[in-house]
Amino acid sequence: MTARFPYALACALSLALSLVLAGHASASPRTDTDAVAKAIEDNFYDVTRGKSIANDLRASAAKGDFDTYNDNRELAAALTDRLKPLDTHFNVQWSPPTAKDDKKEGDRRPQRGPPPTQGTQHGIRRVEILPGNIGYIDLRQFADFEFGKPDQPARQAIEAALQLIAGTDAVIVDLRANGGGSPAMVGYLTSAFTPKGADIYNTFHRRQGTDSEAPTDWFASPRLQVPLYVLESARTGSAAEAFAYTVKNAKRATIVGEASAGAANPGGEVDAGNGFRVFVSNGTPISPITGKNWEGDGVIPDVQVASSQALETARGLALEKIVAERPANETTEARWALDGLRAEAQPRQSGNPADYVGGFGSMTIAEDNGRLVIKRGRRPAVVLLPLGGDVFTVAADPTLRLTFARDGKRAVDALEVEGLDGRSSRLRRNAKPAGR
């Protein structure tokens, strides 16, 4: 016998669903649109333009452009689509208002600063030394901190990252997945690569006056000569663009990747009431170098490549610069790393792979899906990348080079392994087992 769904429970679920849908429903799209328009009119950095944007939005509502949006979430999305071409930062969101929100009836002032970064290592995703002694920082957000307080976690985190790469021959800052954050971090990180007091920082123009992105505390040991590369994509926005724009126009960095988002104007969320919040730009930056900013256009890269190829491209540029500008006896590591990088991108033709397969002392050379790999005991197999002729490098470690030596009959009879430190070893080819 099939169990019947209890009638009372079905009614309760139906009522709950109705309440949920009612919570999402817009009681009056025109009233809510007017509230969003007022938030813009009261807070947009340009008074005249803010009023014009608000009036145009009200006019659209009066014509019924938003009347069909009975769900508050859909109305928020429609308002965002209407506003974003006017300022890239415009964004309308809706969530069910709480009792506390109802009582205060909306705070019409922009809330200060970017979202908190707790649990995200203050925006620092990864810091490492890449082959060829290149420092790399994968920065996902410009975390906020206050100047005059050197023990603040976000400041200490970026200082630790910079200290880790302090001895590198080039630096790459990866902003491809960075949507922005705090102007304080922009100024401080910029000061780690530029002269103290340099007139390169954006000035924010607001209704209340102006303020500068220049730090009030300067990074103690700026690296003024180290080659600097900044990676960006269409996801790079706001404060991340400010950093790229400043170091680019100061002729201090090479920008690699795709044009950034074009969201120049900072601001914050304004509570428009009834669960609606709108991000309103309350300032606009002006560079002392260009006399303008990057709103709409984005920061245009010096080297334009697909963002997925930006890191490899920047690594190549950095290594080429090191090799070209330093004495030959100081560039072996960079040259080997550059050879390895090029071999990964476009392996050079070597001899017949079958010539190399076999045992050499405790090492075994095998073929795996058309690639040569080296195995040693229980260690994981690693791929060999051909550098031309009988010379290979290790994909995971370009500080090693392997050369297969040949006898008078051109048969491979030994393997020579050379390290970046000058050490080398030679392993005879093992005799084939009898019967093979």
Spatial distance between the Cα atoms of 288 and 299, rounded to a whole number of angstroms: 16
Judge whether 262 and 26 are in contact, CB under 8 Å: no
* The amino acid at 252: R
- Domain assignment present for residue 290? The answer is no
Its domain, for residue 368, covers 353-428
Residue 288 lies in a domain: no
Other C-beta atoms within 10 Å of 435: how many?
4
Decide if 267 is inside a domain.
Answer: no
The one-letter amino acid at 82: R
**Within a domain: 295:** no
Q: Evaluate whether 260 touches 177 at the Cβ level (below 8 Å).
A: no
Chain-centroid distance, C-alpha 307: 10
Q: How much is the pLDDT for 64?
A: 94
Q: How many CB atoms lie within 10 A of CB 53?
A: 21
Residue 347 domain-assigned? no
Number of domains in the chain: 1
One digit per residue, the tens of pLDDT, for the chain of length 436 reads 444 445 454 444 444 444 444 456 656 899 999 999 999 999 999 999 999 999 999 999 999 999 999 999 999 999 999 999 999 999 999 999 875 544 343 344 343 444 544 456 899 999 999 999 999 999 999 999 999 999 999 999 999 999 999 999 999 999 999 999 999 999 999 999 999 999 999 999 999 899 999 999 999 999 999 999 999 999 999 999 999 999 999 999 999 999 999 999 999 999 999 999 999 999 999 999 999 999 999 999 999 999 999 999 999 999 999 999 999 989 999 999 999 999 988 866 667 888 999 999 999 999 988 889 999 999 999 999 999 889 999 998 999 999 999 999 999 999 999 999 889 999 999 987 655 5
pTM: 0.85
Asked if residue 366 belongs to a domain, the reply is yes
Does 408 fall in a domain?
Answer: yes
Q: Is residue 387 part of a domain?
A: yes
Contact predicate 161/127, CB 8 Å: yes
CATH number at residue 391: 2.40.128.50
In the prediction, which pLDDT does 128 show? Answer: 97
Query: 264 CB contacts (<8 Å, ≥6 apart)?
Result: 88, 238, 241, 242, 284, 285, 293, 294, 295, 296
